[in-house]
Every structure is written in structure tokens, then in C-alpha cells.
Chain A
Amino acid sequence: DSGVTQTPKHLITATGQRVTLRCSPRSGDLSVYWYQQSLDQGLQFLIQYYNGEERAKGNILERFSAQQFPDLHSELNLSSLELGDSALYFCASSVGVWTDNSPLHFGNGTRLTVT
């Protein structure tokens, strides 16, 4: 058990809808990262938050947004969903803002299916 909690485990929704994925980081970790994993794309970095502030951004679509709250949990909001958004979404956490000596601990992911 990594100590990172993601909810829900599964989400099935229709195109055009909006969903919220939730992540609670490991106790003591201040950084939260979101990754999207689809079959042919591997682990794609979306965004990093550190202690409530956005720190690094990947190829995150404008339809997607995230935030980290004062209690350090994070939410990833996906709107105007398309079939191509179907994927496994992972949250990871780490102690520091830099990863050079700080491993990422991954949650079990949320599997999103858009129909």
C-alpha cells in the first residue's frame, strides 16, 4: 500500500459530461502529480502541485483542470468528455517539489470509461 488514495476506482460516463477525480497524498507528502495512462501512450504527465500551488504542467488539455486544497488533497476535473479521454488516471505524491531525490508514490488509479 503506497499510502496514496484515489477515488473513485471506476467511472463510466457519457461523452460531453464532466467528472471529478480525487486524490489524497501520502502523509507528509506535499507534491501531487497527475498522470494519464492509455494503452498506446504510456504514462503521460499532466500536472504537478506543491503545497497548494501549481508547479509544472504537461500536455494537459484545456478541458482538464486540477487543484490542490489546503489539506493537500487534489482533484482533477475533466469536462466535455470525449471517447479519447478513456484511460487510467494516476495520482502520485512525493515529499519535495523536485524529483531528483524524491520517489513518486502512486495511487491505484481511477479507470475512466467514456461511452
Chain B
Amino acid sequence: QQPVQSPQAVILREGEDAVINCSSSKALYSVHWYRQKHGEAPIFLMILLKGGEQKGHDKISASFNEKKQQSSLYLTASQLSYSGTYFCGTENYNQAGTALIFGKGTTLSVSS
């Protein structure tokens, strides 16, 4: 099942903060976050594992609440380069492999 992302879109000025949420109706073991700029390939940001700590990279961090089956991506003091569409991905295991299923994405627009 596809995870649900909210909000669908965020408009910010440089320096402002944003939170993007990702929730699932099923138990999660990990959550992936990716950013995609228009017409380009998605770029990996981070993976959060069940029982793991909150992760961060520069001013982008994320948390994972396995009890609530949700993850949040925090972008602080946003920069123009943060603009793009953010996708969360959750695993759908079968016995042989993994399908990483992505949410519909959250479009972030940062202006000066």
C-alpha cells in the first residue's frame, strides 16, 4: 500500500522551516526519503530504521515513529537548493525481495 504524504505542496521563503509527513496503514521497518528536482532523478536523502535514532544531514533531519507508523522530514532554515519534490518510500516485503513503494510526493518551493 502506498504511504500517504502531507502536505501536497509547501511554499517557503529562504530561512523558513517546513515539515513533511509520511504515514502508512501497515507496520513499517524502515522509511526512505528522496528529493527529486524537476526532470531529474530522485536523490537519496536518508533511511530511518525501526528502533533507530533520528537522522540528520546538514539542516535536513527526519524522525520515525514506528508505533504511529509515520515519519516526518524536517527542513530548517530552508535554502533555495531545497526546492523540489520530496518522496517517502516504504517497503513492501515478500519472501523473495522488496518493493519500495513511494508516496505521491510533496512539492517544496523556496523563494528568495
Whether A99 and B41, one on each chain, are in contact in the complex, defined by CB atoms closer than 8 angstroms, is no
A101 to B99 Cα, complex, angstroms: 14
Q: How far is the CB of B41 from chain A (nearest CB, A)?
A: 4
Give every chain A residue within 8 A of B47 (Cβ-Cβ).
100-103
Q: How far is the CB of A43 from chain B (nearest CB, A)?
A: 4
Interface size class of B (residues with CB under 8 A): 20 to 34
Number of A-B pairs, beta carbon distance below 8 Å = 82
Of the candidate stretches B12-20, B55-63, B69-77, B100-108, the one touching chain A is B100-108
Interface residues of B in 16-55 (CB under 8 A from A): 29-30, 32, 34, 40-44, 47, 49
Whether B41 and A90, one on each chain, are in contact in the complex, defined by CB atoms closer than 8 angstroms, is yes
Give every chain B residue within 8 A of A107 (Cβ-Cβ).
41
Give every chain B residue within 8 A of A106 (Cβ-Cβ).
34, 41-43
Cross-chain contact of A56 among B30, B42, B94 (Cβ < 8 A)? B94
Interface size class of A (residues with CB under 8 A): 20 to 34
Give every chain B residue within 8 A of A98 (Cβ-Cβ).
91, 93, 97-98
A105 to B100 Cα, complex, angstroms: 12
- Are A55 and B96 CB-contacts (below 8 A) given A43-B102, A100-B30? yes
Interface residues of A in 10-54 (CB under 8 A from B): 31, 33, 35, 42-43, 45, 48, 50, 53-54
Residues of B within 8 A of A (CB): 29-30, 32, 34, 40-44, 47, 49, 87, 89, 91-94, 96-105
23 A-B interface contacts by CB (under 8 A) = A2-B43, A33-B100, A42-B102, A42-B104, A45-B99, A45-B102, A50-B96, A50-B97, A56-B92, A56-B97, A58-B99, A90-B41, A98-B97, A99-B89, A99-B98, A100-B30, A100-B47, A101-B49, A103-B47, A104-B42, A104-B89, A106-B34, A106-B42
Sorted nearest first, the 7 A-B pairs with minimum C-beta distance are A55-B97, A56-B97, A106-B41, A103-B44, A43-B102, A100-B30, A56-B99
